[in-house]
Structure 1
Amino acid sequence: MDHRHPGQCNLCRKRLLRVLPIAILFGAAGAIVGCRSPEQHRRKADEVGSKIVAEKQTEAIGRTEPFSIERPSDILRRKLVEGQDLPYSSPASLGTDRLDPIPHWPDLDDRPQGVSDGPDMAVVPNKPVKLSLIDALQVGAGNNREYQSFKEDVFRAALSLDLTRNDFRNIFRAQADSRLSTDTTGDETVTTLDSGGTLGLTRNFMNGLSISSAVAVDLLNVLTQGGSSSLGLSSDTSVSIPLLRGAGRHIVSEPLTQAERNVIYAIWEFERYKRTFAVRIAQDYFGVLQDMDSVTNARDNYRSAITSARWTRRRADAGRITQVEVDQALQRELGARNSWIRTQEQLKNRLDSFKSQLGLPPDALIELDPNDLVQLRTQSDEIVKEMRETSDAGSEEAPPADAEVVLQPATYEDAGPYEIDASRAIQLALENRRDLQVANGDVYDAQRRVVVRADALRAGLTLGGEARFADTDDDGSLRFEGGRYAALLSLDLPVERTAERNAFRNSLIDLERATRSVQQLEDQIKLSIRGQLRTLLESRESIKINAQQVVVAEKRVRSATLFLEAGRAQIRDLLEAQDALLLAQNQLTAAVVNYRIAELQLQRDLGLLEVNEKGLWQEYSPEEIAYDR
């Protein structure tokens, strides 16, 4: 430093002290941005998204429950692929954390955190994994790809809301520029280097007021302590607020309002999907068990057909029956074998389809717990047992042939707990269906869009202002009294509004469509509820009818066998009785399954079947429903 010019040195010190806070601020901004890694950004996004989801869960469903879109590394699909040595095409089959890194991949923690909420199942090579219905519900929630996509839709809606909220926050920006220029137009070549930086702040308010402020500094002039007496500091501030078109909180905050509601809708849609998914899993699960029962019945029928064919041959060899009857028995044996094979393959196909529905590989070794069907059959087994005892005790005396025929219609005697009055059921559905709430929300959204489109037809009147200050003093301080000020009043007359006019008319059409969608959904709900109640009634009556058919068919088989041995019946009588028994057994199982599925579907369509984050349901208590049958 040149001590021969102390005044200049003092001025330099003052200038450096004044610019030091700005330099520190630039450095801090650069450090914050430069030091935050992609993984930190990812964690921040997860934190913000999860917080918004929890906030909106309370508003949408009145409770909060754990929510995460990270798939654990120990999901059953991966355990089956690795534990049972199943073939797969690439590491993508095992998950994103198993992918081979590509060039320039950001430094992320790719391994999913935590463990699965599903059942802890050990996977042993060449040994099937056994699933109960409860296990299947949890496995489906953790492995089904569509289920995961619905969860991600909720999270995406939360991030979209965060971005929209950001429009009404303080937005800071920092930028530094350097420009090297060469001028060869004069007698001498002049090369200059300009370096500067800008710190800015922007804020939008709900009433439409927008404020933008920036401070710029000539960094090269500061660092080189150039001959200029000023530091090159300048400040620009601008303000604008709409007075006509675009004015008002309801117009300015419309994107935020819609983003808030979109998260609610996404949660409602996910809740509706969870219920539909759980019922579909139960339906497919019992469908597999029903096929397993059909295989058992077909196997027993095949054995009885073999026994009948052998007995027929012995009787034919003794000359007691004709060859035609032998051929009939042999034909039934072949048909029974074909039916047994067909039901076995049908069971395999249905089981593979069910595994795929759960999100598991179709070639994985999986078996289902038949005890779930045994529990459903308890009521029907009791009915069969009572009818057998009644049949063994002797039948009632038959009425005269010319007696009046009285038909027996279906009644609500011994009705199940969910067979409620149709009008009460419809009212419950209209109050609780999440998809109907979304549809009604769409109507309100469409109404708000009409308001926004109508506002766009008005004239535009914007009030604005600008202020600029610069360091023109020798000490480098900003002189506010020497600033430049400007005020602006901009008027946009509604002379050309073709696009806005068409958008307004389309918004009215959208409102009509949204209204019709509500009407259509209401009718679909009523149709579904009434149909489910009829299915319950039909299935309950079918259980009793088919239980009686089983008893009658069993009696026919015993009687035909005895009469055939006594030579008082033909082999065809026995074969027909055995076929009738097989059909009655299968129909009884189908009726039991249909009734249980109809109960679950009714609760789903009423919007009363609750499903938690693990995929497990909680059925609605019928005692809470007040109705008059």
Structure 2
Amino acid sequence: MAERSALGRGYDIGRLRLEPAPGSRLADPFDPDRPPKPPDDPAAAILMDHPYKFRGSKRWGKDGYADSIEPIGWETALAPDDKGVVKLDQNKAVEVALLNSREYQTALENVYLTALGLTLNRFEFDLRWFGRNATTYTHTGNSSLPTESNRLASTTDVGFERNLAAGGQLLVDFANSVTYEYTGGAVGGVRSNLLLSLTQPLLRNFGRQVRLEGLTQAERDVLYAVRDFARFRKQFYVSVATQSGGYLSLLLATQTLRNSQANLKRQEETYRLYNELFRGGRASVVELDQFYQSLQAARQDVIDTRTSLENAKDQFKLTLGLPPRLPIDLDDSPLDQFILVDPALERLREQLEEFQRVRLRELDAPPSLDVLRKAFADLRELAGGGPAAVRSAAADLDAFGRQLDRPERPGDDPEQRDRDRATYTSLKTALTEAGDDLAKFTRRIEKDSTAVTEATRKEGWEAVVQDAKFLLTALDGVITVQTQSRIYRIELPEIDILEEPAMAFAKANRLDLQNRRAQTTDAWRKVTVTANALRGGVNVVGTANLVTDADHDKPFNFAGEASSYSVGLQFDAPLNRLAERNAYRASLVTYQRSKREFVALSDQVELQIRQDLRELARLRPSFSIARQQVLSAARQYENTRLTLLGPGGRKGPNDATSLQLLQALSTLLAQRNALAANFIQFEQRRLQLLLDLEELQLDDRGFPTNAQPRPPARSGDRDGRGTPSPGLPAAPAPRPLAPRGPVVP
């Protein structure tokens, strides 16, 4: 296998050791030549102990008994935490799969078995020595002469056979016979003969192209197996790390669950708010029922999404070679960019909304002076978080601005860049205004709190309710700026690959296409080989049999008068060749099929590249559209909330606000899911493109060395193999495993 993996680019197959590494679930801790008896099925064990009417062997347990088929304690190699949970990031998941995957181990064993068959084909043309001995003691007759005989005979053969590349066969056999007769006095004799035989076909089975066909095919089959496994390693990495059912798919399911949970949280908040509005006569029972039904639907969505995620995790464990019962915890840090609001700001808004709901419960009766003063104190404390909220939003807005300062890249839409700059300018203005409002409302809260007295309780109560609305409105403005800034900061990697050079690159480097091209040549060779079988048989046969002198007991005293020599021709007329005729005709058909299969695979490669590029081209604007839709849905939700909670909110029962809010919540959930799905799908398709181009390269561990985009090649660039480079990733030095990695390594 090492010979074949060194033949060309991309044939590396990683570890050549067949046995799984210690710590693998597949490892065998016992002596492979003398393994202990594994646990047996109780019913089948009876048939092993008593097959039919016989007593079974008692030696089956001579090497001991194993308590389990899989090694005990293999889980410790996964380094679980004190609760038994295995922490997985993308790199760790691939590492675990390479260590424990049954499919990966089977694929490696298939390469080994193919190489094992080659050793037999090679041995066929090696010098094959043999050495045999037969020693026999024979007694005949009774105790008296001359009928009694007691003879000891020992015959030894030593020699070798050799198949020649042109179809000949050579045999050299030295035979020595020693006899000893005990009866009637010791009488013995030694005889030897040296046989040399050579058979050389001249027509049928003649020539290297025929005789070496089996060896040639076996050599090439090992190369094909190495290529197949090299490609399997890449497909295995992609399937574990990114594709459907892989790590990225789990992250998408996780983000979908997050979005559903966020939607449920908003639904619960809105339902509580409508409860208070209903009690105050500002919402009808129909509206309350609508939000209750929407809340229940959101709860069901969370349940369904969580169940789907857990099912996907269990299926992923099987891909890694782990039992579904083993708890895992995914590193979801790559999803941090989809957290659109700083958790601290989210908590501050929740506290303000809860403060406002408490005020709504007070209905038309102003609270006591102590309660009112406590309310102002709480509101002042909440207002104190305003500057930190502005700083948090400003940091994200500045990062968005730095994106806009980058040089224009190929494929950028100038009109979209202008719109983004206009958005940035308006967000900067909005943040300044929201910051000023927060400062102004903080001062107003301080002023209103000092003015409250027993005589002004009603005015103070109205002031605290109004101040809370103003403060919440200003905070919503800050959150809106941060949300939009973070949405704009989510970007897809740049890929600029031209179709024509990409196809040329793939056709020159795809391992499966190389195999198919070579197999077409295999089918072509078989036409000549099967045609040779139709010929008549003409063999030249020569033998020399040198025998020792019968009058001397000297094993190497060959006598010319006792030796014989022969040479001749053997002829087999081609009168019965129906089976060979059929094989020949079948080889012609197989060759034509093989050519069609190569063309079909070549077309399939073109189709894959075109689909990859077309899908990437589709996903990029789809991502931009999804981003704009999330922005629109977020603005719609925030504006509808302001109608309910803002300082000018005057909602009456049965107006359109409730329906608008329900639609906004539903749209926001759908668009946040679409944005995450577009991002993940782009990453999956991008890595699939590298795989389809055969540009994805792995190190000895099975991790990619070139999965990051690079600038496209200039016109006329070559990649060193005479193939136009389509602007593919460069290969940086392998990186060690990191506990928290990016979405793709």
Does TM, scored on the shorter chain, surpass 0.5?
Answer: yes
Q: Does 1:437 align with 2:386?
A: no
Gap regions ≥5 residues in structure 2: 39-58, 67-74, 341-395, 404-418, 431-490, 716-725, 728-745
Q: State how far apart, in whole Å, the 2-side matches of 1:252 and 1:390 are.
A: 80
Q: 1:389 to 1:524 in 2, by over 3 A?
A: same
Say if 1:68 and 1:385 are closer, same or farther in 2 by CA, change over 3 A: farther
In the alignment, which of 599, 613, 620 is matched to residue 540 of structure 1? 620
1:512 counterpart letter in structure 2: Q
* Paired residue type of 1:301: N
Q: Contact conserved, 1:196 with 1:216, CA < 8 A, in 2?
A: yes
2:160 and 2:171 in contact (8 A); partners too: yes
Deviations 1:86-113 (A, max 9, x none): xxxxxx99997996337468989x9xxx
For residue 478 of structure 1, what is the amino acid of its counterpart? N
- Could you give the per-residue CA deviations for residues 418-466 of structure 1, whole angstroms, max 9, x where no partner exists? 3412222111111110000111111000011111001111111111111
Tell me if the contact between 2:523 and 2:587 (Cα under 8 Å) persists in the aligned partners. yes
CA, structure 1 residues 394+508, in 2 after alignment: closer, same or farther (shift >3 Å)?
farther
Q: Distance in 2 between matches of 1:361 and 1:97?
A: 28
What is the aligned counterpart of 2:286 among 290, 307, 324? Answer: 324
Q: Which residue of 2 aligns with 1:479?
A: 558
Partner of 1:463: 540
2:173–2:194 Cα contact (<8 Å) kept:
yes
Question: What residue number does 1:74 align with?
Answer: 23
Q: 1:547-604 CA distances to partner (integer Å, 9 max, x unpaired)?
A: 1111111111111112234316421211110111111111111111011111100000
Cα–Cα, structure 1 residues 204 and 358, in superposed 2: closer, same or farther, change >3 Å?
A: same
The change in CA–CA distance for 1:385 and 1:295 in structure 2 (over 3 A counts) is farther
**Residues of 2 paired with 1:586 and 1:486: CA distance?**
88
- Distance change (3 Å), C-alpha of 1:243 and 1:522: same
State whether structure 2 residue 198 is matched by structure 1 residue 239.
yes
- How far has the Cα of 1:622 moved from its partner? 3.9
CA shift for structure 1 position 62: 7.1
Which amino acid is 1:338 matched to? Q
Report if the CA contact (8 A) 2:94-2:240 is conserved: yes
Shift in CA distance, 214/554, structure 1 to aligned 2, threshold 3 Å: same
**2:7 match: secondary structure:** helix
CA distance in 2, matches of 1:216, 1:304: 96
TM-score (norm 1): 0.78
Relative to structure 1, the CA distance from residue 188 to residue 223 in structure 2 (aligned partners, 3 Å threshold; closer, same or farther) is closer
Q: Which residue of 2 aligns with 1:368?
A: 330
Shift of the alpha carbon at 1:293? 1.0
Which secondary structure state, in structure 1, belongs to the residue aligned with residue 590 of structure 2?
helix
Q: For residue 56 of structure 1, what is the aligned residue in structure 2?
A: 4
RMSD between superposed Cα atoms in Å = 3.6
Q: Per-residue deviation at 1:138?
A: 1.9
CA separation of 1:135 and 1:450: change in aligned 2, threshold 3 A: same
Residues 321, 276 of structure 1: CA spacing in aligned structure 2 closer, same or farther, 3 A cutoff? same
Deviations 1:207-253 (A, max 9, x none): 22211111122244499999667412222221111111111111111
Are residues 339 and 439 of structure 1, via their aligned partners in 2, closer, same or farther at CA, if it must alter by over 3 Å?
Answer: same
Report the counterpart of residue 197 of structure 1 in structure 2: 156
**CA distance change for structure 1 residues 226 and 300 in 2, over 3 Å: closer, same or farther?**
farther
Q: Which amino acid aligns with 1:481?
A: G
For residue 253 of structure 1, what is the aligned residue in structure 2?
Answer: 212
1:224–1:344 CA distance, 2 compared to 1 (3 A): farther
What residue in structure 1 maps to residue 676 of structure 2?
Answer: 589
Q: Which has the larger radius of gyration?
A: 2
Whether contact under 8 Å (2:205, 2:533) holds in the other structure is yes
Runs of 5+ unmatched residues, structure 1: 1-52, 80-91, 111-117, 396-413
Cα 1:318/1:62, change in 2 over 3 Å? closer
Task: Write the mapping of 1:381-400 to structure 2, written as runs, cut at 5 A.
Answer: 389=424, 392=427
Is residue 575 from structure 1 mapped to residue 662 from structure 2 by the alignment? yes
User: Structure 1 CA distance, aligned partners of 2:584 and 2:681?
Assistant: 50
Q: In the alignment, which residue of structure 2 is the partner of 1:305?
A: 267
What is the 5 A alignment of 1:481-496? 481-482=560-561, 483-496=563-576
CA contact (8 A) 1:172 1:201 kept: yes
The whole-number CA distance in structure 2 between the counterparts of 1:222 and 1:618 is 78
Choose the corresponding residue for 2:642, options 562, 574, 583. 562
> Quick check: 1:347 aligned with 2:309?
yes
Equivalent residue letter for 1:290: L
Distance 1:377 1:331, change over 3 A: closer
User: Deviation string for 1:169-197 (max 9, x for gaps)?
Assistant: 11111111134556569994656443322
Q: Offset of 1:60 from its aligned partner? A: 4.0
Deviating more after overlay: 592-601 vs 198-207: 198-207
Residues 224, 176 of structure 1: alpha-carbon distance in 2 compared, 3 angstrom cutoff:
farther
Q: Contact 1:241 / 1:463 at 8 angstroms: preserved in 2?
A: yes
**Does the 8 Å CA contact 1:126/1:365 hold for their aligned counterparts?**
no
Per the alignment, residue 337 of structure 1 pairs with 299
Write the letter of the residue equivalent to 1:484. Answer: S
Q: Check if 1:501 corresponds to 2:581.
A: yes
Q: Which residue of 1 aligns with 2:608?
A: 528
Partner deviation per Cα, 1:371-411 (whole Å, 9 max, x = no partner): 2344799999959997964664799xxxxxxxxxxxxxxxx
Identity %: 30
Q: State the alpha-carbon separation in 2 of the partners of residues 183 and 221 from structure 1.
A: 14
Letter paired with 1:566: R
Q: Verify: 1:267 aligned to 2:229, yes or no.
A: no
* 2: CA distance, partners of 1:347 / 1:97: 44
Secondary structure of the 1:203 match is strand
Q: Which residue of 2 aligns with 1:27?
A: none
Q: Does residue 1:100 correspond to 2:36, yes or no?
A: yes
Distance in 1 (CA, whole Å) between partners of 2:308 and 2:114 is 42
2:171 paired with 1:212: yes
Label 1:277 to 1:94 Cα distance change in 2 as closer, same or farther (>3 A). Answer: farther
Q: Which amino acid aligns with 2:659?
A: R
The structural deviation recorded for 1:133 is 1.0
Q: Aligned partners of 1:357 and 1:606: how far apart in 2?
A: 25
Note the C-alpha offset of 1:500: 0.5
Q: Within 1, Cα distance between the matches of 2:34 and 2:89?
A: 30
Distance 1:119 1:270, change over 3 A: farther
Q: Partner of 1:3 in structure 2?
A: none
CA 481–93 in structure 1, closer or farther in 2 if over 3 Å, else same: closer
Does the CA-based 8 Å contact 1:309-1:333 persist in structure 2?
yes
Aligned residue runs from structure 1 range 48-197, under 5 A: 53-61=1-9, 66-75=15-24, 77=25, 100-101=36-37, 103=59, 121-181=78-138, 188=147, 190=149, 192-197=151-156
2:151–2:181 contact (8 Å) kept in structure 1:
no
Moved more, 562-571 or 136-145: 562-571
One-letter identity of the residue aligned with 1:515: K
Inter-CA distance 335–387: structure 2 relative to 1 (3 Å threshold): farther
CA contact (8 A) 1:388 1:551 kept: no
Corresponding residue number in structure 2 for 1:605 = 692
Given that residues 78 and 96 in structure 2 are in contact (C-alpha distance below 8 angstroms), is that contact kept between their aligned partners in structure 1?
no
Note if 1:617 corresponds to 2:565: no
Count of aligned positions = 538
- Residues 1:423 and 1:95: Cα distance change in structure 2 (over 3 Å): farther
For the 8 Å contact 1:168–1:206, the answer to whether it is kept is: yes
1:490 and 1:95 mapped to 2: Cα distance?
53
Change (3 A) 1:495 1:148: same
Query: SS state of the match for residue 191, structure 2?
Result: coil
Residues 150, 182 of structure 2: 8 Å contact kept: no
